[in-house]
Amino acid sequence: MAMRRPAIGVFDSGFGGLTVLKELIGHSLDADYLYFGDTARLPYGSKSTETVSRFALGACQYLEDRGAQLLVIACNTATALALGQISAAAHVPVVGVIEPGAECAAAASRSRKVVVLATEATVSSHAYQKALAARGIEAREKACPLLVPLVEEGWVDHPITEQVAQIYVDQAFGERNEADVLLLGCTHYPLLKPLLRRIAPRDVTLVDSAESAATAVRKKLKLDPLPRLSEAERRSIPRLNFFATDSVEKFRRLGAMFLCHRIDHVEHVDLKE
Ligand code: DGL
């Protein structure tokens, strides 16, 4: 009997989590993907813990109902505010982006000082600071609320974005710049990597939570694999399924920029609360 390919659910507030999906696909895991973007209710980065938790729980339940056997919480804000609740409610393993990001940052830092850029809500939760402190690292967190809309505007290499990012980076590093790692704690920031590389202090290593999370998922699946695949399935191309709570056209258009690949079919989902 032909076996079904295991399905990995990827959840985000909208388009940004496609940077995590891109990295997961890059790792060539033998899996299909179910990507849920809660585009009708983004941004999460300016919302309260109660609201983000409620939204995230509904979306993750939906992914499980559609057959996800592992949930990747690609959204930094949802991970920071609701990972505990999501994990408690889920019937499948859950991986967030913060622990993997903190782990990679800790491994990359010699000065034991790291600067974290993230949304307002992620910074207020101090989830990164706590995860880094647990690894003996001092963190300076900086909320960068203007970067998400600038990236969604497609201004990833625009003088305005550069000016804004420069202000944030200067404020985050301050006068006495001892941090040697810049941790990108938001789904949208990987698109700004070339720009951030240019403006960050020299010798600072950029660590991207999307890449770190994909590596963590690969390691987890190596230790604890999902059901095995038939030969035929292993040879076939992974299937990508997209679900969005707002316009499917907009998801296709904007999503392609984050995924660096065209998106053909998107299913609209109306989550009843
Ligand atoms: N996905 C969010 C994050 O990584 C950024 C976008 C939003 O605020 O919804 O924190």
pLDDT tens column, 191-213: 999 999 999 999 999 999 999 99
> DSSP class of residue 140?
E
Domain count, the chain: 2
The pLDDT assigned to 1 comes to: 42
The answer to whether residues 233 and 256 belong to one domain is yes
CA gap 118, 146 in Å, rounded: 11
Q: Which residue among the candidates 60, 75, 104, 144 is catalytic per the annotation?
A: 75
Model confidence at 2: pLDDT above 60 = no
Averaged over 174-184, what is the pLDDT? 92
In a domain, 273, yes or no: no
Give pLDDT tens digits for 29-82: 778 999 999 999 999 999 999 999 999 999 999 999 999 999 999 999 999 999
Which atom of ligand 1 lies closest to the CA of 185? 4
Averaged over 150-173, what is the pLDDT? 98
CA of 179 to the centre of ligand 1 (A): 24
The pLDDT assigned to 243 comes to: 98
Whether the Cβ atoms of residue 208 and residue 190 lie closer than 8 Å to each other: yes
In a domain, 258, yes or no: yes
The answer to whether residues 129 and 84 belong to one domain is no
In a domain, 86, yes or no: yes
The answer to whether residues 120 and 197 belong to one domain is yes
* Residue 186 falls in the annotated catalytic set: yes
Model confidence at 12: pLDDT above 50 = yes
Give pLDDT tens digits for 16-26: 999 999 999 98
CA of 75 to the centre of ligand 1 (A): 6
Any bridge partners for residue 206, and if so which?
A: 182
> Which single residue is written with the structure tokens 């909320």?
143
CA of 28 to the centre of ligand 1 (A): 25
Q: Is 42 in the pocket of ligand 1 (CB under 6 A)?
A: yes
Which residue, of 166, 181, 209, is where some domain finishes? Answer: 209
% of the chain beyond a pLDDT of 90: 86
Question: Residue 151 sits in which domain range?
Answer: 98-209
The answer to whether residues 106 and 178 belong to one domain is yes
Q: What is the CATH number of the domain that holds 233?
A: 3.40.50.1860
- Looking only at the bridges linking them, the beta strands covering 240-244 and 32-37 are parallel
In a domain, 115, yes or no: yes
The pLDDT assigned to 46 comes to: 97
Which atom of ligand 1 lies closest to the CA of 209? 4
The answer to whether residues 242 and 115 belong to one domain is no
Which residue, of 186, 209, 232, is where some domain finishes? Answer: 209
Q: Which residue among the candidates 60, 104, 144, 186 is catalytic per the annotation?
A: 186
The answer to whether residues 103 and 91 belong to one domain is no
In a domain, 29, yes or no: yes
Q: Is 122 in the pocket of ligand 1 (CB under 6 A)?
A: yes
The answer to whether residues 199 and 150 belong to one domain is yes
The pLDDT assigned to 226 comes to: 77
Give pLDDT tens digits for 209-259: 999 999 999 999 888 877 766 666 666 666 899 999 999 999 999 999 999
CA of 52 to the centre of ligand 1 (A): 11
Query: What phi and psi, each to the nearest 5 degrees, are found at residue 99?
Result: -60, -50
Which atom of ligand 1 lies closest to the CA of 187? 4
Which residue, of 166, 185, 209, is where some domain finishes? Answer: 209
**b/e burial code for range 55-84 (CB count within 10 A of at least 16 → b):** bbbbbbebbbeeebbbbbbbbbbbbbbbbe
Closest residue by Cα to atom 1, ligand 1, is 75
The pLDDT assigned to 18 comes to: 98
Q: Is 76 in the pocket of ligand 1 (CB under 6 A)?
A: yes
The answer to whether residues 204 and 216 belong to one domain is no
The answer to whether residues 130 and 228 belong to one domain is no
Q: Is 186 in the pocket of ligand 1 (CB under 6 A)?
A: yes
